[in-house]
């Protein structure tokens, strides 16, 4: 792989394993993401999609293999990767305005702090306007609705202009209308900023609607290692194109077909595909198997 292509990948994992003691959560992950991609990640409960997010965030370290963010190893969360959680993203003791502004205060040097309070405030106001909450600047998070809270949390992350915006089931607690509203909102943000978004969700419809690339993790597959508990892998990886879709697309048959396919491939415990048969149509997707795995997998495929 040439260095030039490598540079273009914000996330690059090769043979990455994450295990807690003997419990392997992520098994031999090969994964790379191009700049500006909207990656949505789905998978059954406990398949390690949130673990994957924490690894990219730097909250945890992988056990073995390679993982590079922007071409470098990472050890802690930092400003290059913003995060929006489902809950607890906002600081409860600060107003909406202060919540958005606080990143600027954190990163300002002492000298800057003296002079740049006003500029920071203006910038925070700009982002609050962008998320449509300029009138609620003085409210504390508990006075805002769930949807408004998530908007502030997004603004809070955006002000730091992160390389990757990570979102961990951000709309999981919202009602369907607010959810769709915020889906359109994040698409607008994505189109405008062109940033890479890594969006974990358990809602398949949301994943297929939002993502320019849908990645499904699953622990339900076979690689010939019978009786061994194995961690999750990426079982399917679809390229959905980077054009923005309208909500009308949710009603189309192709849309629901894809949802059913992913549900079948990733969520059905009884459906164990061979590692060789994974549906990885995205140009960035790749998979390296050890010789042993490959050989066993080939046998499995033949026997089928």
Partner 1 sequence: MRFFDNKNVNQQMPQKEAQMQMLKWIWSVGVNVLSRIWNTVKTFFSLHYCPSRVAKVLLAIVPFVLLLGTYIHFSNKRHEENPRDKILPTISQMYEQVKIYVVETDKRTDKNLFVDDTLASLKRLLIGVSIASVLSLIWGLSMGIYPWVRSTWMPFVTFVSIIPPLAILPIIFIGLGVEELGKISLIVLGITFLMTRDLKIAVENIPREQIVKALTLGASSWAIVYRIIFPQVMPRFIEMIRVYLSPAWLFLIAAEAIASKNGLAYRIFLSRRYLNMSLIIPIVFWITSIGFLMNFILKKILDWKYRWYVDIKNG
Q: Is residue 117 involved in binding partner 1 (CB under 8 A)?
A: no
Q: Is residue 93 involved in binding partner 1 (CB under 8 A)?
A: yes
Q: Is residue 103 involved in binding partner 1 (CB under 8 A)?
A: yes
Q: Is residue 251 involved in binding partner 1 (CB under 8 A)?
A: no
Candidate residues 102, 277, 289, 298; the one interacting with partner 1 per rule CB under 8 A = 102
Q: How far apart are CA 138 and CA 225, in angstroms?
A: 57
Candidate residues 8, 35, 63, 77; the one interacting with partner 1 per rule CB under 8 A = 77
Output the smallest distance, CB 87 to partner 1, in A: 7
Q: Is residue 126 involved in binding partner 1 (CB under 8 A)?
A: no
Q: How far apart are CA 233 and CA 43, in angstroms?
A: 10
The site that binds partner 1 (CB under 8 A) totals a number of residues, namely: 29
14 or 102, CB closer to partner 1?
102
Residues 6+ away with beta carbon under 8 Å from 234: 29, 30, 31, 215, 216, 217, 278, 280, 285, 287
Q: Would you list the DSSP string of 10-47?
A: EEEEEEEEEEETTEEEEEEEEEEEETT-EEEEE-STTS
98 or 223, CB closer to partner 1?
98
Outline where the chain has alpha helix (H).
3-7, 49-57, 96-107, 110-130, 146-158, 176-193, 204-210, 253-262, 291-303
75 or 177, CB closer to partner 1?
75
Candidate residues 85, 185, 255, 271; the one interacting with partner 1 per rule CB under 8 A = 85
Dihedral sign for Cα 237, 240, 245, 250, please.
Answer: negative
Candidate residues 40, 149, 150, 156; the one interacting with partner 1 per rule CB under 8 A = 156
The CB-side HSE value for 253 (13 A sphere, CA atoms) comes to 0
Binding site for partner 1 (CB under 8 A): 57, 59, 76-79, 81-83, 85, 87-89, 91-93, 102-103, 105-107, 140-143, 156-157, 160, 162
């Amino acid at each position: 792989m040439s260095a030039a292509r490598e540079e273009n990948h914000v996330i690059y994992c090769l043979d990455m394993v994450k295990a807690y003691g003997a419990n392997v959560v992520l098994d031999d992950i090969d994964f790379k993401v191009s700049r500006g991609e909207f990656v949505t990640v789905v998978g059954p409960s406990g398949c390690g999609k949130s673990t994957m997010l924490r690894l990219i965030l730097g909250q945890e370290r992988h056990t073995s293999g390679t993982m590079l963010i922007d071409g470098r190893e990472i050890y802690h969360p930092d400003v290059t990767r913003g995060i929006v959680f489902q809950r607890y993203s906002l600081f409860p003791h600060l107003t909406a305005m202060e919540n958005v502004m606080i990143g600027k205060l954190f990163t300002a040097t002492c000298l800057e702090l003296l002079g740049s309070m006003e500029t920071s405030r203006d910038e925070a106001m700009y982002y609050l306007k962008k998320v449509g909450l300029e009138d609620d600047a003085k409210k504390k998070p508990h006075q805002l609705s769930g949807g408004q809270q998530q908007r502030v949390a997004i603004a809070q992350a955006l002000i730091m202009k992160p390389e990757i915006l990570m979102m961990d089931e951000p709309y999981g607690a919202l009602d369907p209308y607010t959810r769709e509203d915020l889906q359109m909102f994040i698409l607008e943000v994505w189109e405008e900023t062109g940033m890479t978004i890594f969006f974990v969700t358990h809602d398949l419809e949301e994943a297929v609607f939002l993502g320019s690339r849908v990645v499904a993790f699953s622990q339900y597959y076979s690689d010939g290692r019978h009786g061994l508990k194995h961690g999750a892998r990426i079982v399917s990886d679809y390229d959905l194109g980077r054009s923005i879709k309208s909500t009308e697309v949710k009603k189309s048959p192709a849309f629901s077909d894809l949802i059913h396919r992913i549900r079948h491939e990733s969520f059905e415990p009884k459906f164990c595909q061979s590692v060789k048969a994974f549906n990885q149509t995205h140009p960035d997707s790749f998979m390296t198997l050890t010789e042993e795995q490959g050989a066993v997998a080939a046998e499995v495929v033949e026997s089928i």
